[in-house]
Structure 1
Amino acid sequence: MPKCGAVSTFCCGTQVPTNLCQYQFYNVELGRRDGKVSTKANVQHHLPHPEFNLDQLNSMFSTNGLSQSDMIALSGAHTIGFSHCNRFSSGIYKFSPINRIDPTLNSQYALQLRQMCPLKVDPRIAINMYHVTPQKFDNQYFKNVVQGRGLFTSDQVLFTDARSKATVNLFASNEGAFQSAFIAAITKLGRVGVKTGNQGEIRIDCTRPN
């Protein structure tokens, strides 16, 4: 039986929820070796922030060989899952000195978010990323963003910035195009930083280095 590292196991794990959420199967490339160092500090600077603008998003993804279209397709994963209120509260309470609420947001949606996440809310409170089809991996994320219902600033900017708007419109109107782009992008993401030869290890316990 071939050995499978924790990274490969994790990659397979990303496929399971998408299948359970009525999304098509895709082939996951296996055989990745695991790193010998794993810390929170190493991860924090490699994840996009909810308040990123398009230039910041493109810069982060391009360092890993991912295009703007790849980044937009991967953002579509926000169609399922949840977020804690503090991850997007700045967009509905303190966006800028002039506008408390992000003016690119649908005003009714912003008020709904305020009702679900009032000021000084329990930090453990979380809400669904999107409420139309929260358990289905579809293109509803893009439809919501077109309507000004992007939960994160980094979501809504994909539509408000003219450089990415056309791709959002495409994915919102053509679910097949989104699915194909997502599979291609997540496959490319799975190839980032692959260790070869004697690099890394195959963990005995997925939760920690050997």
Structure 2
Amino acid sequence: MIINFHWGQLTGGPYYQVELGRLDGRVTSKANVKHNLPGPGYNLDQLNAVFAANGLTQTDMIALSGAHTIGVTHCDKFIRRIYRFKQPLAFNPPMNLTFLRQMRQICPLNYNPSTFAMLDPTTPFKFDNAYYQNLQKEMGLLASDQILFTDQRSRGLVNWFASNQTAFEEAFVAAMTKLGRVGVKNATEGEIRRVCTAVN
């Protein structure tokens, strides 16, 4: 069974058919979720490893990263990227100087934990390919975003998506469909939760 879905209906994203029938897991674990999500300081090899473990390719990973065209992240996820600390990041891709200064205004060293910044500073409420254009300008807020352009192995696809909105949307839909098929559970492994945030 499938339904038509408009990704980010209020933000102009693409329509596509979502496959139905997934069951919820019987275990809720913050640690398990964290283990399966890439970190904000991941390099390309680490990003690829996380996605490959779920049967997704580098192209899928780059396309799904484009979801950062909308949304926010809190200061703690990038504070070490915009200031020099005694224990610096293992790697820190370059950042546009004007953008760096803007981020320091939003997140000073004594930032409020609830403070956040837009992942896409140019069109934060529109689902488009500006995310990739920002990477070309060294305006990727997370190191794991900017590395997609900094690393030569992924730069070509970033440039392609930056120049072609349709190509990005098609790749995003294909990757989202594949992602929806990861870890599908059978009737003994899963359930239909009455409350999304808790097992029955």
Instruction: Determine the structure 2 residue equivalent to 1:34.
Output: 24
Determine the C-alpha separation between the residues in 2 that align with 1:98 and 1:207.
Answer: 36
Aligned residue pair count: 199
**Unaligned stretches of 5+ residues in structure 1:** 3-7
Match of 1:127 among 117, 120, 129: 117
Does the 8 Å CA contact 1:95/1:102 hold for their aligned counterparts?
Answer: no
Instruction: Determine the structure 1 residue equivalent to 2:45.
Output: 55
Determine the C-alpha separation between the residues in 2 that align with 1:134 and 1:189.
Answer: 24
Instruction: Determine the structure 1 residue equivalent to 2:33.
Output: 43
Inter-CA distance 177–52: structure 2 relative to 1 (3 Å threshold): same
Please tell me the residue identity of whatever aligns with 1:122.
N
**Unaligned stretches of 5+ residues in structure 2:** none
Which deviates the most, 193-202 or 25-34?
Answer: 193-202
Instruction: Determine the structure 1 residue equivalent to 2:73.
Output: 83
Does the 8 Å CA contact 2:78/2:141 hold for their aligned counterparts?
Answer: yes
Determine the C-alpha separation between the residues in 1 that align with 2:27 and 2:158.
Answer: 37
Please tell me the residue identity of whatever aligns with 2:106.
M
What TM-score, normalized by structure 1, do the two folds share?
0.88
What TM-score, normalized by structure 2, do the two folds share?
0.92
Question: 1:1-28: per-residue Cα shift (whole Å, max 9, x none)?
Answer: x9xxxxx9xx99xx56611101121111
- Secondary structure (helix, strand or coil) at the match of 2:24 reads coil
- Secondary structure (helix, strand or coil) at the match of 1:165 reads helix
Q: 2:157 aligned with 1:167, yes or no? A: yes
Does the 8 Å CA contact 1:92/1:102 hold for their aligned counterparts?
Answer: no
Residue 207 of structure 1 deviates from its aligned partner by: 2.2
- Secondary structure (helix, strand or coil) at the match of 1:127 reads strand
Question: 1:104-139: per-residue Cα shift (whole Å, max 9, x none)?
Answer: 111111111111111010011112112211110000
Q: 2:197 aligned with 1:207, yes or no? A: yes
Determine the C-alpha separation between the residues in 2 that align with 1:40 and 1:181.
Answer: 29
- Secondary structure (helix, strand or coil) at the match of 1:124 reads coil
Determine the C-alpha separation between the residues in 2 that align with 1:138 and 1:41.
Answer: 32
Instruction: Determine the structure 2 residue equivalent to 1:144.
Output: 134
Instruction: Determine the structure 1 residue equivalent to 2:103.
Output: 113
Computed over aligned residues only, the root mean square deviation of the Cα atoms, in angstroms, reads 2.3
- Secondary structure (helix, strand or coil) at the match of 1:58 reads helix
Please tell me the residue identity of whatever aligns with 1:59.
A
More strand by share: 2
Match of 1:70 among 60, 74, 82: 60
Determine the C-alpha separation between the residues in 2 that align with 1:24 and 1:48.
Answer: 24
Question: 1:127-169: per-residue Cα shift (whole Å, max 9, x none)?
Answer: 2112211110000000000110000000000001000000000
Which deviates the most, 180-189 or 104-113?
Answer: 104-113
Determine the C-alpha separation between the residues in 2 that align with 1:112 and 1:54.
Answer: 26
The sequence identity of aligned pairs, in percent, is 52
